[in-house]
Amino acid sequence: MQPVNGPMNEISPVTDAAPIKPVPTLPDAQTVTQVTHWTDRLFSFRVTRPASLRFRSGEFVMIGLMGDPNPETGKQKPLLRAYSIASPSWDDELEFYSIKVQDGPLTSRLQHIEPGDQIILRPKPVGTLVHDALLPGKRLWLFATGTGFAPFASLLRDPQTYDDYDEVIITHTCREVGELTYGAKLIESIRADEMLAELIGEGFADKLRYYPTTTREESPKMGRITDLMRSGEVFADLGVPPLCPETDRAMICGNLAFNLELKDLLESYGLEEGANSKPAHYVVEKAFLD
Ligand code: A2P
C-alpha cells in the first residue's frame, strides 16, 4: 500500500518548482504595473500598493532603487527620493509622476523601469500639501510647475477637495506644450469620470477650473503664472477677484524659485503659511527635481 504521506504524495512540498508569485528581493519592494512616457523629460508609473498603506491626498513617500554596489565592500544601499503620490487615496495602486534627468543618480535609472520590475517604497507618507493644514475657505488655488502637478493629481480626485470648497482652480506652468499633457489628460478624465461623480456628487466637475500656461513654446496662454497674477490677467481670464485671506486658500508645488516667488506674492495678498500643526491660508512643497 502506498504510504499516505510518502515522498511522492501530492501534498508534499515541491521545493524545486517556480514560485507562483516572484518573491520580492528588495526591502519594501513594490511591483511596477504600468509606465507611460509623456515627453523625453517626463514619465509616470503605477506600482502595487502595500495593503497597510494609508495616506492623505497630497502627501509624499520615499521611493527608489538599490544603488550600485560599493566597490570596496560590495554592499548595496537603497537610493531613495521623495515622491508625491499622484493617485487618490481610494485607488488600489499608487501612481507617481517624474522628471527624467539623464545624469540624475535615481531618475537616470528609474526612467527605464518596466511593468514587472520592482522599486523600493517606504510606506511612511508625510507632507504639508494636505487639507488639514488649511483653514476653511471658499476657493482653493493649486499652483504647480512641471512635475509639481503630482500631489494635485491626487487632491483633485479626493472628494474632500470639492466638499470643502465652492471653486477649485489649478494652474500649471510648463516650458513646453507637451509637458502639460499629463495634467490636461488627468483633468479631462476627472470631468468624464462617472465613478467620481457618483462618489463626490453630480456636477462636482463644474467647480474645477484648469489654467495651463507655457513659457517657452507657443500655446493659448503664455507666461509664468506669477507674472500673470501680478498683471491681473489670470483673475480677468477666470472672472475671479485677486486672492484674499477671507476666501482663498492655496497650495504651491514647483521648482524652488517658483515656490519662493509665489510665497512672496501670496503674502502680499495677506495670506499666511499654514502647517499640519497650525492650519492657515496656504502651504508649500518642493517638487522632486533630481
Ligand atoms: P521659464 O521657462 O520662464 O523659466 P522648470 O522646468 O525649469 O522646472 O520650469 C517649469 C516652469 O516653471 C517653466 O515654465 C518656468 O518658466 C517656470 N518658472 C521657473 N521659475 C519660476 C518663477 N520664479 N516663477 C514662476 N515661474 C517660474
Note the pLDDT of residue 201.
87
Q: Compute the distance from residue 238 Cα to the ligand 1 centre, in Å.
A: 21
Q: Whose CA is nearest to atom 20 of ligand 1?
A: 258
Host H or E run for residue 62: strand 60-66
Query: Grid coordinates representing 276?
Result: 499640519
Residue 275 pairs in a beta bridge with 278
Pocket test for ligand 1, best of 107, 145, 228 (most atoms within 8 A of CB): 145
Residue 249 pairs in a beta bridge with 140
Distance CA 36, CA 14 (A): 39
User: Which amino acids bring their CB within 6 angstroms of ligand 1?
Assistant: 145-146, 173-175, 215-216, 224, 226, 255, 257-258, 261
- pTM reported for the whole predicted model: 0.90
Distance CA 132, CA 39 (A): 34
Q: Compute the distance from residue 58 Cα to the ligand 1 centre, in Å.
A: 21
Q: Whose CA is nearest to atom 12 of ligand 1?
A: 145
Note the pLDDT of residue 202.
87
Amino acid (one-letter) located at 268: S
Atom of ligand 1 nearest to the CA of 227: 25
Distance CA 145, CA 285 (A): 12
Q: Compute the distance from residue 3 Cα to the ligand 1 centre, in Å.
A: 75
Query: Grid coordinates representing 289?
Result: 527635481
Q: Compute the distance from residue 174 Cα to the ligand 1 centre, in Å.
A: 7
Q: Compute the distance from residue 49 Cα to the ligand 1 centre, in Å.
A: 32
For the chain, 290 residues long, the average pLDDT of each consecutive 10-residue run is 37 44 69 98 97 95 92 91 95 96 94 97 95 97 97 96 96 98 97 90 92 98 98 98 98 95 98 96 78
Q: Whose CA is nearest to atom 21 of ligand 1?
A: 258
CB atoms within 10 A of CB 234: 22
Q: Compute the distance from residue 277 Cα to the ligand 1 centre, in Å.
A: 30
All structural domains of the chain: 29-125 (2.40.30.10), 131-286 (3.40.50.80)
Q: Compute the distance from residue 279 Cα to the ligand 1 centre, in Å.
A: 28
Host H or E run for residue 195: helix 194-200
Pocket test for ligand 1, best of 40, 224, 228 (most atoms within 8 A of CB): 224
Note the pLDDT of residue 10.
36
Q: Whose CA is nearest to atom 1 of ligand 1?
A: 215
- The sign of the dihedral angle between the CA atoms of 6, 10, 16, 21 is negative
Pocket test for ligand 1, best of 38, 39, 173, 260 (most atoms within 8 A of CB): 173
For residue 176, count CB atoms less than 10 angstroms from its CB and return exposed for 0-12, middle for 13-18, buried for 19 or more: middle
Note the pLDDT of residue 236.
98
Q: Compute the distance from residue 35 Cα to the ligand 1 centre, in Å.
A: 26
Q: Compute the distance from residue 223 Cα to the ligand 1 centre, in Å.
A: 9
